[in-house]
A and B are shown apart, each in its own frame.
Chain A
């Protein structure tokens, strides 16, 4: 089978997506709360394209496998990367999880 990769946006105007990346599994909400995360904006070595895969049933017969379409809907050239552990801005009352609280000042 052959799947044509389509792009309706054309090269100069491909919409740019953003990425926020946390090292490790995120267990925190993002709005500024008790923790502060320091991150940097990184330019990706190779851009990432965001592709949408759609399956269309051609409806011409059960023997035909469903047609798959791939469309480029965006491009990612940068990401905001958070590598360090979050620092607590204020000292929190003890919580059920055992976590080490970082001092507020660097």
Chain B
């Protein structure tokens, strides 16, 4: 019978602390009407399963329509994620006594110290004394872990993945990443794009550098063979030729996207290779892991790039560092993409690499840093010490 079931449900809800409090009567108090008695609900208790979450009005739609998740491992500090933003969750206690009064018709049973049955006016009941509430503070997504996870098992051309559990190690699906990475879906996707990750067979992978070079070389080699202009390579032709050379559409498209931009013209797709991105790849290949004399490096680099492209040291800011050793200038790889994302760790890594920085060298290594509510000047003030030997000299930044 519906009425009975409804009552049973309402009764269950009251016992769980979610109803039977008469909140409306309390909320209507300011109207200057009859006084309201407030007593302890029959089910008054700690109710540790009830928590209060402070939510700004702009977060309410996401919260009330099921678009919010709490993410993190049990040992991490929890974060709350809307589709596009990440918030840290901090419990803030109160020394006040905050009595919670649930909605619903006031249930007749109130506790009184003299255990009489409640007076005729008893209309509101408190279910719990709240110790405080959880505050949300917008925070940068925690993406450092994403990079280390995806570097466990980069995709290598012609790799063979086994089927058993051992061979699944280091492979992460989108759902796995949502559970492990403390970031909103939107920020997670941005993070994956920043890493040039690609989803292959359901797993998000970074592509091993040698494999990238092989594919790029092949694309360039074919462009010469088939007369494709590097600023207008016909997509269908590129894909079919590369496929016959043994490269899947997916991985070729990924590389085209990594080194170029797509242009639609007369309902055909063309790819325009970006000089800076292509030359950077060749620079990294020329430089390798060690140091080179600048002149030698420039020579090797210029001879390796596709004809028609121009090598310029400016393209490598944030990717290589030059230093003067004696009379010679040496250069080595130092890529911002390998550095930590959190400002404190980033500055620590930069000052470990070299203790003093001029602004023009430092800027490319910190311009990607984001801390909600803090400007880049703010970051400099917080993490560096600025000295200027004389009015005409360049300012120098050192660790604070």
Contacts and interface: CB of A to CB of B under 8 A. Distances in A.
Interface of A: 1-7, 9-11, 14-26, 29-32, 40-41, 46-54, 65, 70, 72-74, 76, 78-80
B36 to A, nearest CB: 9
Contacts of B55: 46-49
Given A4-B69, A46-B56, 9 more contacts: A5-B68, A10-B64, A16-B103, A17-B23, A19-B99, A29-B39, A30-B37, A32-B35, A76-B100
B65 A11 contact: yes
A20 B179 contact: no
B215 to A, nearest CB: 34
A1 B26 CA distance: 39
B143 interface: no
A16 B22 CA distance: 10
B97 A22 contact: yes
B87 to A, nearest CB: 12
Contact of A31 (B38, B50, B60): B38
Interface in B55-82: 55-57, 60-61, 63-66, 68-74, 80
25 contacts: A1-B73, A1-B74, A2-B70, A2-B71, A5-B66, A5-B68, A5-B80, A7-B63, A7-B66, A15-B104, A19-B98, A22-B96, A24-B95, A25-B97, A26-B97, A31-B37, A31-B38, A32-B35, A32-B37, A46-B56, A48-B54, A50-B100, A73-B50, A74-B102, A79-B98
Contacts of A17: 21, 23, 100-103
A65 B73 CA distance: 10
Contacts of B27: 16, 18, 41, 78
Contacts, number: 152
B124 interface: yes
Interface SS majority for chain B:
mixed
A80 B99 CA distance: 10
A73 B18 contact: yes
A11 B178 contact: no
B133 interface: yes
B18 A52 contact: yes
B30 interface: yes
A19 B64 contact: no
Contact of B96 (A2, A21, A30, A49): A21
A1 B124 CA distance: 39
B26 A5 contact: no
Given A5-B69, A51-B53, A21 B102 contact: no
Interface in B1-59: 16, 18, 21, 23-24, 26-27, 29-30, 35, 37-39, 49-57
A45 B102 CA distance: 20
B60 to A, nearest CB: 7
A19 B66 CA distance: 25
Given A2-B69, A30-B37, A46-B56, A19 B16 contact: no
Contact of B124 (A4, A16, A18, A79): A18
A18 B26 contact: yes
A24 to B, nearest CB: 7
A21 B99 contact: yes
Nearest to A4: B69
A48 B53 contact: yes
Contact of B70 (A3, A26, A31, A46): A3
A105 B297 CA distance: 91
B70 A20 contact: no
Contact of B49 (A23, A24, A29, A53): A53
